[in-house]
């Protein structure tokens, strides 16, 4: 499994490829920017390692406490945190559970200061219109988030697979040998 620094390097080195491919595929600077930005965000702050005390977790700064329940409920590298599509969707749903009440509270406060009547139906329609009016933009964001998360998961899977093929490293084998030797010495006394 690569270190956090390696994941960051993979994200930063592949960002130009993602940007170029997205611009080539869409011929839209706006969509390419949204996809590339969400790829960068997912690679650095919104990937599968939010389930442990990781660089991604630390980057949330004073808001990292939001991810504590998520960390406690996810097993590291499980299908729910690192799985294709599922991991990203669960993290988005989890974050929405925190963000949506805050947004609604802000809207409610704004309505109160304006003297407007709070009605759920127009607010829900406006929220849905935001998604239906800009479907390609939302799709670009979702694809970018998933690509960023998958670059992380793929590097984990490839790294683990290579470690299994190579077998135990000499360093680990020597360490295990020393531990066994210490146990043998302590059992003689």
Give 10-residue mean pLDDT values along the chain (189 residues): 74 94 95 97 89 90 94 86 89 95 89 82 87 94 94 77 72 56 54
| Rg of the chain over all Cα atoms, to the nearest angstrom | 23
Q: How is residue 147 written in tokens?
A: 């690509």
Quickly tell me which residue has 């390419």 as its tokens: 32
Cα dihedral 51, 36, 154, 175 sign: negative
Taking CA atoms, 175 is separated from 1, 54, 79, 91, 184, in Å, by: 20, 26, 32, 38, 14
Write down the pLDDT at residue 189: 47
The pLDDT of residue 145: 96
Say whether pTM exceeds 0.85.
no
Q: Give me 157's structure tokens.
A: 């899977």
> Is residue 115 left, alpha or beta, with left meaning phi > 0 and alpha meaning psi from -120 to 50?
left
Per-residue confidence (pLDDT) for residue 107, from 0 to 100: 86
CA atoms within 13 A on the CB side of 137: 7
User: What pLDDT is recorded for position 102?
Assistant: 93
Residue 1 is predicted with a pLDDT of: 53
């Amino acid at each position: 499994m690569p270190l956090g620094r390696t994941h960051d390097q993979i994200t930063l080195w592949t960002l130009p490829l993602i940007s170029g491919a997205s611009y080539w595929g869409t011929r839209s600077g706006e969509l390419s920017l949204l996809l590339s930005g969400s790829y960068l965000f997912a690679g650095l702050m919104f990937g599968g390692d939010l389930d442990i005390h990781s660089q991604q977790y630390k980057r949330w700064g004073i808001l990292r406490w939001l991810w504590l329940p998520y960390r406690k409920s996810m097993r590291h590298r499980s299908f729910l945190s690192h799985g294709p599509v599922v991991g990203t969707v669960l993290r988005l749903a989890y974050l929405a559970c925190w963000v949506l009440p805050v947004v609604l509270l802000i809207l409610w406060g704004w309505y109160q200061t304006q003297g407007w009547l709070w009605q759920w139906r127009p607010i829900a329609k406006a929220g849905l219109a935001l998604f239906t009016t800009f479907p390609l933009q939302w799709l670009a964001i979702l694809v970018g988030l998933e690509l960023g998360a998958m670059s992380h998961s793929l590097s984990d899977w490839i790294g683990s697979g290579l470690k299994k093929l190579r077998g135990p490293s000499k360093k680990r084998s020597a360490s295990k040998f020393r531990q066994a030797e210490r146990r043998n010495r302590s059992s003689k006394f």
